[in-house]
A and B are shown apart, each in its own frame.
Chain A
Amino acid sequence: MTDSYDIAVIGAGPAGMSAAITASAAGARVVVLDDKPRAGGQIYRNVTDSPLKNTDLLGEDYTKGAALVEQFNACRAEKITAANVWHVGDNGEILFSQAGASASLTAREVVISVGAMERPFPIPGWHLPGVMTAGSAQVMLKSDGLVRDGAVFAGSGPLLYLIVAQYLRLGVKVKALVDTTPKQNYLAAASLLPGALGHTDVLTKGIGLLNEIRRAGVPVYKYAEDLSIRGEQQAEGLSFTAKGESHSLDAAHIFLHQGVIPNLNMTRATGVEHVWNREQLSWQPRLNSWGQTSVAHIAVAGDGSGIIGADAAALSGQLVAWQQLVRLGLISPENAENHSRPLQQKLQRYQGLRRFIDRLYKPADALRKPEQQETMVCRCEEQTRGQLKAAFDQGARLPDELKGLTRCGMGPCQGRQCGHTVSELLAQWQGCEVEAVGYYRLRSPMRLINLTELARFQPHRQASAVEVKS
């Protein structure tokens, strides 16, 4: 059999690449599946093969990924690229589609390192054509070198400022930055500043980005509230208030961003337990200090375990690898302990910074839990807050009950865009904790799968049926 591995790593971002490098160097038979043609994840997307002539313009946080990607490409792990993993079983079975067919493999240990996604931004008009996430704008930039002139960027968080700065460095006109970071966040975060001081480089980098944006002459509106996107068929502009004044900007392209949350459809569908993180206001898998989930042989590393950032993600990837190597009998527990202690200490140090960032950029309630009845919550099935509230008033109390009555969460995004909003709204309406409300019951396929691909599914992968890059 050629389809059984010691460790399967799903997702080749910083966490997955690091896990694979560590585990394969220690002698484990490792396979890494990634949905893109090249490793790197969102953050280091195409870093070794950019359509841009000068990648330095994207910043050193991007270019430094090249070293990790090269190390990963050179490691002994088997790489299956452009593979859509659509099922991860709690028994270690992995089903994926690639080049028009479905195949399967099994692994004794599984690392899920599928990273983060941008937090939904449910404001009036966010579903209109012309509105995208700032992250998607960055993907277009990194993958295809595509940009949009005269766009308005709105929201909060370091990634938003970085993308604006990247645009400006490329000479693209930015109409405005509408910053929704609430005023009180600065005060609340100030008390957490001491814990973040070990990372002054990161802090100054953030301040530097904002200064860079201002220096370029881009209007920056701080403390923006009451955002709504104008337009009937297409986005025409953004209205908001800032410091008590109403503003209305015309723009055909509006990029929204208010931080990232773990990408959880895979861990959810695998059946591992999740908890609600009150600081990050998002769900995350319940993990032990080694990154293991409630299913012993399934670990989660990187931003999928809770947002930790690229550097910490790489450390967490190594950490789960050491633990899995012990269970595979390839190294001794003492050896793993020795390797892990410094990793855990470093990860600990990142936590101070993370708490500061989380507090500073904590998105306002009104931008997570829409207040207007007509604001879309589920874009796929076009369910507004008002329609969901009506179903709640009829008696739906759990996300699945709301789903059963309204179809919210049943569309092609598989609940990714409405899941968090639905959990939070139901908790708000019932006056209870988000944890008590829970989340949609998710199942495989974790990604959309073509019916013909499924029809061609073979229970075991033939070695020759899949092109393996080495």
Chain B
Amino acid sequence: MNAIAGNRQKASVIIIGGGIQGCSTAYQLAKRGVDVIVLEKDRVARHASGVNAGGVRLLGRDIAEVPLSKVAMQRWQTLDDELDGDTGFRRRSLINIAADEADMQTLQKRQALMHGQGYFHETMIDQQELRERLPHVADYCVGGVVSETDGYAIPYKSVFAFRQAAARAGAEFAEGQQVQRLRRIGNNWLVETASGRYEAEYLVNCAGAWADQIAVMMGDNCPMTYSAPMLMITTRMPHFATPVVGAVSRPLSFKQFENGTVLIGGGAKGFADRARNTTRLDYAKLAVGASNAVDFFPIMRTATVNRMWAGLEAYMPDNLPVISASVNSPNAFHAFGFSAHGFQLGPVIGEVLADLVTTGRSEFDLSAFRVDRFERKVL
């Protein structure tokens, strides 16, 4: 759909942001017969959703996120069939490596907490099993924790698959439509972009690193920040690691894809220039990441880095997302601030938002994700 100035495009729901959350929400709504328009300021999957590490991770989640993440993980196992697309999902298990005894104690505490809550998907492994699962891990590593259902997907392809499925179900996508103003007229929202005007009964804010700006237009302030988590990928290497790998206390994550390339991440942040849609890399921090990778996996010594990049991602002070109805506006909802671990949640967030829009309720306890959770405490 090409909106031209003066055109008014009407729908029941307008979703602002064409990342994985926006596309997943569009899919769920369209599947339920709701007419929906997605407004994307650049191109679908242009930022964090399309260029993240692709980790599909239940392991190590904040307790508040576990119920959502568990359902999302079920969805990933059959998502390609559901969407009739190719997300590139591979179930590979995910191991967080303990480098020393202090890490093992951290894991034991975590284990007790999880078991106390009735969650048993994280299993501790000893040094021998670690070596069996990751034959090339450095000798000094003493153990770890594993989640069997975890894996990875290809980010751009995943978002694209949601988009295609949503479009087939009737959702409209308008790219290059940066929202400039929101107004409430009667029972409707008027949405103005540089070249179009749109109208809908409901609004959903999935605007990623720009979501705080949309939230403000809805009347909700929140202390979101944004940054540029960095990644690098090697050329093809002989196969040496099947599970996705993280570390308990060091900033390392990596995965070897089927084609042999190894993606190295770990949360090191570059510099985000949100106004200009760009990021700058911090090479000194990437060097630390390189050093950690070689340290944990000596076979990586000879690896060759082919590409490095960063995406613009939204963060909340407590690293938990906002999944919430607007506090100050009717018929408006938020899902943003996933703090670099929202990709895995994509399939379930669409369901939650579709529930919120169509029924006003969700089967999940979303109290930890309220948009106004930082406003209660004064002094």
Residue of B nearest to A451 (CB): B303
Whether B306 pairs with A448 at a CB distance below 8 angstroms is yes
User: Residues of B contacting A404 with CB < 8 Å?
Assistant: 45, 50, 156-157, 160
User: B290 on the interface (CB 8 Å rule)?
Assistant: yes
Instruction: Give A211 to B281 CA distance when docked, in angstroms.
Output: 54
| B282-303 contact mask (Cβ, 8 Å, vs A): 1 or 0 | 0110110011011000001111
Query: How many interface residues does chain A have, given as a range?
Result: 20 to 34
User: Residues of B contacting A452 with CB < 8 Å?
Assistant: 290, 294, 301-302
Q: Which of B234, B259, B302, B308 contacts A443 (CB 8 A)?
A: B308
How near does chain B come to A129, taking the closest CB pair, in angstroms? 18
User: Residues of B contacting A104 with CB < 8 Å?
Assistant: 283
User: Residues of B contacting A412 with CB < 8 Å?
Assistant: 235, 304, 306
| A432-470 contact mask (Cβ, 8 Å, vs B): 1 or 0 | 000000000001110011111011110100000000000
Instruction: Give A445 to B283 CA distance when docked, in angstroms.
Output: 10
Whether A405 pairs with B156 at a CB distance below 8 angstroms is yes
User: A394 on the interface (CB 8 Å rule)?
Assistant: yes
User: Residues of B contacting A394 with CB < 8 Å?
Assistant: 160, 164
Whether B290 pairs with A448 at a CB distance below 8 angstroms is no
Whether A443 pairs with B309 at a CB distance below 8 angstroms is yes
How near does chain A come to B315, taking the closest CB pair, in angstroms? 22
Q: Which of B287, B302, B306 contacts A411 (CB 8 A)?
A: B306
Residue of B nearest to A91 (CB): B280
User: A175 on the interface (CB 8 Å rule)?
Assistant: no
User: Residues of A contacting B293 with CB < 8 Å?
Assistant: 451, 455
User: B43 on the interface (CB 8 Å rule)?
Assistant: yes
User: Residues of B contacting A444 with CB < 8 Å?
Assistant: 281, 283, 308
User: A102 on the interface (CB 8 Å rule)?
Assistant: yes
Whether B302 pairs with A450 at a CB distance below 8 angstroms is yes
Instruction: Give A443 to B280 CA distance when docked, in angstroms.
Output: 10
Instruction: Give A394 to B156 CA distance when docked, in angstroms.
Output: 13
Among A102, A271, A448, the one with the most B-chain Cβ atoms within 10 Å of its Cβ is: A448
User: A342 on the interface (CB 8 Å rule)?
Assistant: no
User: A212 on the interface (CB 8 Å rule)?
Assistant: no
Whether B307 pairs with A443 at a CB distance below 8 angstroms is yes
How near does chain B come to A95, taking the closest CB pair, in angstroms? 6
User: Residues of A contacting B283 with CB < 8 Å?
Assistant: 87, 95, 104, 444, 457, 459
User: Residues of A contacting B259 with CB < 8 Å?
Assistant: 407
User: Residues of A contacting B160 with CB < 8 Å?
Assistant: 394-395, 404-405
User: Residues of B contacting A272 with CB < 8 Å?
Assistant: none
Query: How many interface residues does chain B have, given as a range?
Result: 20 to 34
Whether B300 pairs with A451 at a CB distance below 8 angstroms is yes
User: A401 on the interface (CB 8 Å rule)?
Assistant: yes
How near does chain B come to A459, taking the closest CB pair, in angstroms? 5
How near does chain B come to A356, taking the closest CB pair, in angstroms? 40
Instruction: Give A337 to B234 CA distance when docked, in angstroms.
Output: 47
Residue of B nearest to A459 (CB): B284
User: B222 on the interface (CB 8 Å rule)?
Assistant: no
User: Residues of A contacting B164 with CB < 8 Å?
Assistant: 394-395
Residue of A nearest to B234 (CB): A451
User: Residues of A contacting B300 with CB < 8 Å?
Assistant: 451
User: B305 on the interface (CB 8 Å rule)?
Assistant: yes
Instruction: Give A449 to B302 CA distance when docked, in angstroms.
Output: 10
| A374-405 contact mask (Cβ, 8 Å, vs B): 1 or 0 | 00000000000000000000110010010011
Instruction: Give A454 to B300 CA distance when docked, in angstroms.
Output: 12
Whether A414 pairs with B307 at a CB distance below 8 angstroms is yes
How near does chain B come to A452, taking the closest CB pair, in angstroms? 5
User: Residues of A contacting B284 with CB < 8 Å?
Assistant: 457, 459
Q: Which of A87, A450, A457 contacts B304 (CB 8 A)?
A: A450
Instruction: Give A102 to B286 CA distance when docked, in angstroms.
Output: 12
How near does chain B come to A414, taking the closest CB pair, in angstroms? 7
Whether A401 pairs with B43 at a CB distance below 8 angstroms is yes
Residue of B nearest to A409 (CB): B307
How near does chain A come to B281, taking the closest CB pair, in angstroms? 7
Whether A448 pairs with B294 at a CB distance below 8 angstroms is no
Instruction: Give A429 to B308 CA distance when docked, in angstroms.
Output: 30
Interface residues of B in 37-53 (CB under 8 A from A): 43, 45, 50
Among A395, A404, A444, the one with the most B-chain Cβ atoms within 10 Å of its Cβ is: A404
User: A128 on the interface (CB 8 Å rule)?
Assistant: no
| A144-174 contact mask (Cβ, 8 Å, vs B): 1 or 0 | 0000000000000000000000000000000
How near does chain A come to B337, taking the closest CB pair, in angstroms? 24
| B159-173 contact mask (Cβ, 8 Å, vs A): 1 or 0 | 010011000000000
Whether A398 pairs with B43 at a CB distance below 8 angstroms is yes
How near does chain B come to A106, taking the closest CB pair, in angstroms? 13
Interface residues of A in 405-422 (CB under 8 A from B): 405, 407, 410-412, 414
How near does chain A come to B372, taking the closest CB pair, in angstroms? 36
Residue of A nearest to B278 (CB): A271
Instruction: Give A404 to B154 CA distance when docked, in angstroms.
Output: 9
A405 and B157 contact, Cβ closer than 8 Å, known pairs A443-B281, A454-B287: yes
How near does chain A come to B341, taking the closest CB pair, in angstroms? 21
Interface residues of B in 117-157 (CB under 8 A from A): 156-157
Instruction: Give A407 to B233 CA distance when docked, in angstroms.
Output: 13
Residue of B nearest to A87 (CB): B283
Interface residues of A in 103-122 (CB under 8 A from B): 104
Interface residues of B in 291-333 (CB under 8 A from A): 291, 293-294, 300-309
A450 and B305 contact, Cβ closer than 8 Å, known pairs A405-B157, A455-B291, A457-B287: yes
How near does chain B come to A4, taking the closest CB pair, in angstroms? 17
A450 and B306 contact, Cβ closer than 8 Å, known pairs A405-B157, A457-B284: no
User: Residues of B contacting A410 with CB < 8 Å?
Assistant: 306-307
Instruction: Give A455 to B296 CA distance when docked, in angstroms.
Output: 13
Instruction: Give A450 to B305 CA distance when docked, in angstroms.
Output: 6
Whether A445 pairs with B290 at a CB distance below 8 angstroms is no
How near does chain B come to A442, taking the closest CB pair, in angstroms? 9
User: Residues of A contacting B302 with CB < 8 Å?
Assistant: 450-452
Whether B157 pairs with A454 at a CB distance below 8 angstroms is no
Among B45, B300, B305, the one with the most A-chain Cβ atoms within 10 Å of its Cβ is: B305
Q: Which of A398, A407, A451 contacts B305 (CB 8 A)?
A: A451
Interface residues of A in 227-257 (CB under 8 A from B): none
User: Residues of A contacting B157 with CB < 8 Å?
Assistant: 404-405
Whether B287 pairs with A456 at a CB distance below 8 angstroms is yes
Q: Which of A102, A401, A405, A414 contacts B287 (CB 8 A)?
A: A102
How near does chain A come to B356, taking the closest CB pair, in angstroms? 29
Instruction: Give A87 to B283 CA distance when docked, in angstroms.
Output: 9
Residue of B nearest to A395 (CB): B164
Whether A454 pairs with B290 at a CB distance below 8 angstroms is yes
Instruction: Give A401 to B42 CA distance when docked, in angstroms.
Output: 12
User: Residues of B contacting A398 with CB < 8 Å?
Assistant: 43
How near does chain B come to A455, taking the closest CB pair, in angstroms? 4
Whether B45 pairs with A454 at a CB distance below 8 angstroms is no
Residue of A nearest to B154 (CB): A404
Instruction: Give A271 to B280 CA distance when docked, in angstroms.
Output: 11
3 nearest A-B pairs in the assembled complex, by CB-CB distance: A404-B156, A457-B287, A455-B291
Give chain A's interface residues, CB within 8 Å of chain B.
Answer: 87, 89, 95, 102, 104, 271, 394-395, 398, 401, 404-405, 407, 410-412, 414, 443-445, 448-452, 454-457, 459
A449-B304, A456-B287 given. 17 additional CB < 8 A pairs?
Answer: A87-B283, A271-B278, A394-B160, A395-B164, A404-B156, A404-B160, A407-B259, A414-B307, A443-B281, A444-B283, A448-B304, A448-B305, A449-B305, A450-B304, A451-B301, A451-B302, A451-B304
- Can you list 5 residue pairs at the A/B interface with Cβ under 8 Å? A395-B160, A405-B156, A444-B283, A445-B307, A448-B304
